[in-house]
Structure 1
């Protein structure tokens, strides 16, 4: 698998403002986490955000050329309310369904 395309991220993590985080808190209990699956190299899982949540995420978290979220730094995805153990990296967004984030 190719390395993560860092050009699809913010140059550095962009922390959410308190008022932005307040808007997102209501969605945290509705985030769905897949079971883990793996290949010979990595363990994976996907995280499904509530579709309405995308409207509350700040615009600079989005890749306007693709119409999806950018690849998020750990600080960014955690601030959205995604909770996972340490070591997961957001490596792709499922473009047909931009509310699904892929982690390895």
Structure 2
């Protein structure tokens, strides 16, 4: 699915890196302060941005960061959900707003339908 969405996988960890219990505990205090934008769209995708509290970045494990950019890597769904970001299925983290690295940009196809098993 994400392969079709023009996402640069070289900017992700090779595979999702789970958080330890101690890391989760450090992040829990920030969850209520995560801000979700309204959705907006073009002809293909709907978008939203998620604003993390700036202090939260200090509690996120270093393996989630891209040292060359000084921003978070593009996160796998398991990673962003572990940080406490909650949204419906189908959203892909596709970009970080570099001037404001605490803002994560998400997109998914318009009229996304989760796969049925």
Correspondence 1:5 to 2:8: yes
For residues 95 and 21 of structure 2, the distance between their equivalents in structure 1, rounded to whole angstroms, comes to 26
RMSD of aligned C-alpha atoms?
0.7
Which of these two proteins has the greater Rg computed from alpha carbons? 2
Displaced runs of 4 or more, over 6 A = none
For residues 20 and 84 of structure 1, the distance between their equivalents in structure 2, rounded to whole angstroms, comes to 21
Which residue pairs with 2:47 in the alignment? 44
Shift of 1:16: 0.3
Equivalent residues in 2 for 1:21-100, closer than 5 Å: 21-100=24-103
The number of residues matched between the two structures is 103
Shift of 1:4: 0.4
Unaligned runs of 5+ in 1: none
2:50 aligns to what SS in structure 1? strand
